Amino acid sequence: MANYLLEMKNITKTFPGVKALSEVNLQVEQGEIHALVGENGAGKSTLMNVLSGIHQFGTYEGDILFEGRVCKFEKIKDSEAKGIVIIHQELALVPQLTIGENLFLGNERGSTVRIDWDETFAKADEYLKLVGLDESSRTLIKDIGVGKQQLVEIAKALAKNVRLLILDEPTSSLNESDSKKLLNLLLEFKKNGMTSILISHKLNEVSYVADKITIIRDGKAIETLDKEKDDISESRIVAGMVGRTITDRFPKRESKIGDVSFEVKNWNVDHPLYEGRKVCNDINIKVHKGEVVGISGLMGAGRTEFAMSVFGHSYGRNIRGKVFINGKEVNLKSVREAINNKLAYVTEDRKGNGLVLSNPISINTTLAKLDKISKNLILDKDLEFKYANEYKDKLKTKTPSVTQLVSNLSGGNQQKVLLGKWMFADPDILILDEPTRGIDVGAKYEIYCIINQLVSEGKSVIMISSELPEILGMSDLIYVMNEGRIIAEMPKNEASQEAIMSCILKSDNRTLSE
């Protein structure tokens, strides 16, 4: 008989006008890694929010049993007291505090009147060793990368005597190397008897670590696959997620490439804080009408810094170089000038910099080009709703109304609103920075179709992505960046994952020998 650490029985959760979960059952055995997969909005995070007490007892129907006992969590502290700890996709760390302070925030060492700082940092160092993080606990969070911050979150969970660790998209912001380290850490924890629940859209990672995979679709648990008994290939998981077989992850596109529409020459950018440190070093790129140009590279290669600095000098200092649009040199020293020259930048950080989450879809859709819906500085709300509904239909955004707050949408639908915002600005050149980060395979396919539609209309797309299959599947031409430089240029028919990684490794070796 299975030894279940956790059982969730007939969980039903309803929000105004939406049934997010419908009689969901989940069983997790002691010491296993159990994955939850499904499209954006399927109900995965909602189910885990019910488990962790974010959605408190009484706001849902059904039962939670932990170690065979019924639990009625009123708040997160209640679930943490049982050893259930959730790590959300958006890391809950305070940048200006040290690692040690973050590790015990709300769980301080010492007495009720005095924090024992010696114990805090000594214990923190012990937990950092457990997660394989070679940093002093006195280091500020803002001074370490995202991969290391993710390990700090796990160390923070260990400090709470975690027995069931829930990770929601833990590798969405990590490069392949850091992702592999994190997944191997979960496997090490498993050897020591820890139980984990992993939510992820990266199906290769799910197949790598999960013992069982529960597929959720439209608020219902469709099936649970067992690694030892069932087919857990990516195609099989996708079929369960979307209710159909997807034979090709990337929609076909017949490229009709025209004249050069966008060119950057001798582009150099210095770090905004560290004088003399270059983040973009003599970059040259060309993009044609009807072309998707991919920019590949590891995290920290300078891809986002390049894109933001070109888009109205949004990043960096001492920016120099030339930008040409349709053969004419342009001076894009502000975001407004970039937009007026029909350049758009879809940020990788949709929640932080791309959308106003507390506002409805209608307002977010028109933000980048308010003069299209205003006269004499007065906004036409009817026109705003008209355009918002047009883009909702065009992009197939799942929402009952454009009056819905963006914060209530799934990640994939938020991404569609962000794309709609910049499509509304009528750009000829779109820079898409990690356009499918944190969204499911079905939503990704829809985003790819939108990209294909844009280039078929003669627009130009520059796509930055950390996912090599995505870059290879969508790009006509690929530039490879490393340490602020363009180190290779590859036509689609010459590009491969091996060729791209080989260029990066050779570039690293050259840098070390210089």
Task: Walk me through the domains of the chain, giving residue ranges and CATH numbers.
Answer: 1-83+163-247 (3.40.50.300), 91-161 (no CATH), 253-342+427-514 (3.40.50.300), 352-426 (no CATH)
pLDDT average, residue stretch 279-304: 92
Is 514 a residue whose pLDDT tops 60?
A: no
Cα–Cα dist 488/486, whole Å: 6
Q: In the prediction, which pLDDT does 295 show?
A: 96
pLDDT average, residue stretch 361-374: 93
Is 453 a residue whose pLDDT tops 60?
A: yes
pLDDT band at 245 (very low <50, low <70, confident <90, very high): low
Q: In the prediction, which pLDDT does 388 show?
A: 94
Distance of CA 446 to the CA centre of its chain: 17
**For residue 52, what is the enclosing H or E element?**
helix 44-52
Cα–Cα dist 504/497, whole Å: 11
Most confident of 206-215, 344-353, 494-503: 206-215
Cα–Cα dist 277/180, whole Å: 30
Q: In the prediction, which pLDDT does 377 show?
A: 84
Q: What percent of the chain has pLDDT over 70?
A: 96
3-state secondary structure of 284: strand
Q: In the prediction, which pLDDT does 67 show?
A: 93
Return mean pLDDT, the chain. 89
Is 508 a residue whose pLDDT tops 60?
A: no
Residue identified by tokens 């790590």 is 87
pLDDT band at 47 (very low <50, low <70, confident <90, very high): very high
pLDDT digits (tens, 9 = 90+) for 414-452: 889 999 999 999 999 999 998 887 777 777 888 899 999
Is 319 a residue whose pLDDT tops 60?
A: yes
Cα–Cα dist 493/195, whole Å: 44
Q: Which runs of consecutive H residues, i.e. helices, occur in 425-483? A: 441-456, 468-474
Reading the block at residue 481, the tokens are: 């960046």
Given a contact cutoff of 8 angstroms between Cβ atoms, the answer to whether 326 and 297 are in contact is: no
Given a contact cutoff of 8 angstroms between Cβ atoms, the answer to whether 280 and 484 are in contact is: yes
pLDDT band at 502 (very low <50, low <70, confident <90, very high): confident
Is 512 a residue whose pLDDT tops 60?
A: no
Given a contact cutoff of 8 angstroms between Cβ atoms, the answer to whether 367 and 425 are in contact is: no
pLDDT digits (tens, 9 = 90+) for 387-421: 999 999 988 888 889 999 998 887 788 889 999 99
On whether the pTM is more than 0.85, the answer is no
pLDDT digits (tens, 9 = 90+) for 91-133: 788 989 999 999 998 888 888 789 999 999 999 999 898 888 8
3-state secondary structure of 248: coil
Work out the angle at residue 16's Cα, subtended by the Cα atoms of residues 14 and 20, and round it to the nearest 5 degrees: 35
pLDDT digits (tens, 9 = 90+) for 53-90: 999 999 999 999 999 999 999 999 999 999 999 988 77
CA-based radius of gyration for the chain: 24
Q: In the prediction, which pLDDT does 97 show?
A: 93
Cα–Cα dist 446/449, whole Å: 5
Q: In the prediction, which pLDDT does 420 show?
A: 92
